[in-house]
Chain A
Amino acid sequence: MKKIIKKQSSNGNLEEEVFPEITSVKISGSVIERFFEEVSSLTIFALRFFKEIVKPPFEFNEMLKQSFQIGYRSLPLVGITGFIIGLVLTIQSRPTLAKFGAESWLPAMVAVSIIREIIPVITALIFAGKVGSGIGAELASMNVTEQIDAMKVSCTNPFKYLVVTRVLSATLMLPLLVVFADIIGLLGAFVGVNLKGSVSSYLFFSQIFQSLEFIDIFPAFIKTFFFGFAIGIIGSYKGYNSYKGTEGVGKAANSSVVFGSLMVFIIDMIAVQITSFFQN
């Protein structure tokens, strides 16, 4: 269907402009174009982050403030989630192991699952939901209310002050939160093991450390830096480049969570491939 728009020409006459038919192929083409445009903008944004991070002045106080908000304030949420995951995973795994008469393997199995995969990914998703959306919404509302423009005018580098501090805090705080969530998750598993049995805390943690190896801990820990960076940079990018208007704030918060979570899974998949390459 052709679209006809009437507009006034420079001499005052009404002219009809005919737009070509919009086909589904063209729509998808535009989506792909937009996707690649977004990827390139995000890459440039991330490169700018690395450029700005090494350039003084360093906004150390702002980074501490953001670390407090992003890290410390997320601890209760992450802790509760970790505890529940440990507890539920233990309760759910017990019947299957009991079928093989291998209930004594429960602590080892739960510990490896929790530390290698479940806690890092779930914590990152929770982090994307809480922190990613927070960064996106905060920066978008600053953009909408022209605070970012005001900072530019007052010779303050808004990228350095707002983006670098937040991304850096997210990158550094997520691994710490994962460490806490791991410990709380293992405590949850200990409670789960003792709901239908009796295992002393010494034996429980001894079995866990017997089953764990560095290959279980380090890749899981290292990938959380990438999770944190991805969530921070996507949240900042979406907020910093949001549309003007209240709708833009909502969109920025929403897309920060969606793309942040998606990136967590993509990074996780790549990390698993790299880990298994080294393991074999």
Chain B
Amino acid sequence: MKKDTSKKIRLGIFISLGITVFILGIYFVGERQQLFRSTFRINGIFRDVAGLQIGSNVRFSGINVGTVNNISIVSDTSVRVEILIDESTRKFIKKDALASIGSEGLMGNKILIINPGTGGKMEIENNDIVGTVQPINMDDIMLSLKKTIDNTSNITTNLSSITGNIQSGKGTIGRLLMDHSLAQNFDSSIVNLKLGLSGLRNLMDDTKISFANNFDSTFVNLKEGSAGFKILMKKAKDSWLLWGF
């Protein structure tokens, strides 16, 4: 009898624990989908939702604050996205907030991103329609990428012909790099330049000596002149004609 009771207790613990774990699991998953939180609803009209799905995360300043509740086609050019957002973030989202569609990483799921809007505006209200930024379509990116690839292809073709010309010695750079006579001429030019420079140096040396000599004699003359001028000035000073100056 005692053994039976013990078995029943153990079975009871086993069942209770199992059910508790299951309910906790449901709670945590539900919590992520805002099922147990107070939420408010806003709408956004997009031309193309780029693969956004019901249940996709809604991010505000990089934080998950809600989920996409419903997506419905309104007309041939517009899709309404119904968004559920945590009530506690309402005060940060203004009337002029913008919704855009992004993705989690390079290969990740699509997410809806809310930009808060300007500080001076009023808080957003339940069932308001927010402005949207149309997502960049993958096809547009591919089209742009194709143009870039075409341009790159043209550039590489041109580059290939340029290098071909250079290799065959055509053009200035080709001749410069591939023509051996040019190099020889260049060598001889350098030798000539070297010789010229050496001659110039000798010339400069000679010029320097004669200039120095002339410069010295000029100074001697100038010195003698200034001495004579000094005597002349003294005599003029002593003269009665210029007395008083």
Complex Cα–Cα for A182 and B19 (A) = 13
The verdict on A210 contacting chain B, using a C-beta distance below 8 Å, is yes
A209-B32 CB under 8 A given contacts A176-B18, A217-B26: yes
Cross-interface CB contact of A179 among B10, B18, B32, B107, cutoff 8 Å = B18
B14 touches A209 (CB 8 A): no
Chain B, residues 7-38, CB within 8 Å of chain A (1/0): the string is 11011001101110110011011111100000
The verdict on B55 contacting chain A, using a C-beta distance below 8 Å, is yes
B19 touches A71 (CB 8 A): no
Chain A residues positioned under 8 Å from B26 (CB to CB): 214, 217
Chain B residues positioned under 8 Å from A210 (CB to CB): 32, 64
The verdict on A21 contacting chain B, using a C-beta distance below 8 Å, is no
The verdict on A75 contacting chain B, using a C-beta distance below 8 Å, is yes
A72 touches B14 (CB 8 A): yes
Chain B residues positioned under 8 Å from A214 (CB to CB): 26, 29-30, 33
Total A-B Cβ pairs within 8 A: 55
Chain B residues positioned under 8 Å from A209 (CB to CB): 28-29, 31-32
A179-B29 CB under 8 A given contacts A67-B11, A71-B14: no
Chain B residues positioned under 8 Å from A64 (CB to CB): 7-8, 11
Complex Cα–Cα for A102 and B107 (A) = 10
Chain A residues positioned under 8 Å from B10 (CB to CB): 68, 72
Chain B interface residue bracket vs A? 20 to 34
A213 touches B11 (CB 8 A): no
Most buried by B among A64, A179, A213: A179
Chain A residues positioned under 8 Å from B17 (CB to CB): 180
A183-B21 CB under 8 A given contacts A64-B8, A210-B32, A213-B29: yes
A179-B22 CB under 8 A given contacts A210-B32, A213-B29: yes
B11 touches A179 (CB 8 A): no
- Chain B residue at smallest Cβ distance from A221: B22
The verdict on A65 contacting chain B, using a C-beta distance below 8 Å, is yes
A217 touches B29 (CB 8 A): yes
Chain B residues positioned under 8 Å from A183 (CB to CB): 21
- Chain B residue at smallest Cβ distance from A104: B105
Chain B residues positioned under 8 Å from A213 (CB to CB): 29, 33, 55
Chain A interface residue bracket vs B? 20 to 34
Complex Cα–Cα for A209 and B32 (A) = 7
B15 touches A176 (CB 8 A): yes
The verdict on A212 contacting chain B, using a C-beta distance below 8 Å, is yes
A180 touches B29 (CB 8 A): no
- Chain A residue at smallest Cβ distance from B105: A102
Chain A, residues 147-186, CB within 8 Å of chain B (1/0): the string is 0000000000000000000000000000111011011000
- Chain B residue at smallest Cβ distance from A72: B14
Complex Cα–Cα for A179 and B19 (A) = 8
Complex Cα–Cα for A217 and B32 (A) = 14
A217 touches B25 (CB 8 A): yes
- Chain A residue at smallest Cβ distance from B108: A105
A188 CB, nearest partner CB in chain B, Å: 16
A68-96 residues at the B interface, CB under 8 angstroms: 68, 71-72, 75
Chain A residues positioned under 8 Å from B107 (CB to CB): 100, 102
Complex Cα–Cα for A175 and B26 (A) = 14
A187-241 residues at the B interface, CB under 8 angstroms: 209-210, 212-214, 217, 221
A127-141 residues at the B interface, CB under 8 angstroms: none
A186 CB, nearest partner CB in chain B, Å: 10
Complex Cα–Cα for A257 and B28 (A) = 36
Complex Cα–Cα for A111 and B64 (A) = 20
Complex Cα–Cα for A221 and B21 (A) = 13
Residue numbers of A with Cβ under 8 A of B are: 64-65, 67-68, 71-72, 75, 100, 102, 175-177, 179-180, 182-183, 209-210, 212-214, 217, 221
Seed contacts A64-B7, A209-B28, A214-B26; 15 additional CB < 8 Å A-B pairs: A64-B8, A65-B4, A72-B7, A72-B11, A72-B14, A75-B14, A176-B15, A179-B25, A180-B18, A182-B25, A210-B32, A210-B64, A213-B33, A213-B55, A217-B25
* 23 A/B residue pairs, CB under 8 Å, sorted by A: A64-B8, A65-B4, A68-B7, A68-B8, A68-B10, A71-B11, A72-B14, A75-B14, A100-B107, A102-B107, A176-B18, A176-B19, A179-B21, A179-B22, A183-B21, A210-B32, A212-B29, A212-B32, A214-B26, A214-B29, A214-B30, A214-B33, A217-B29
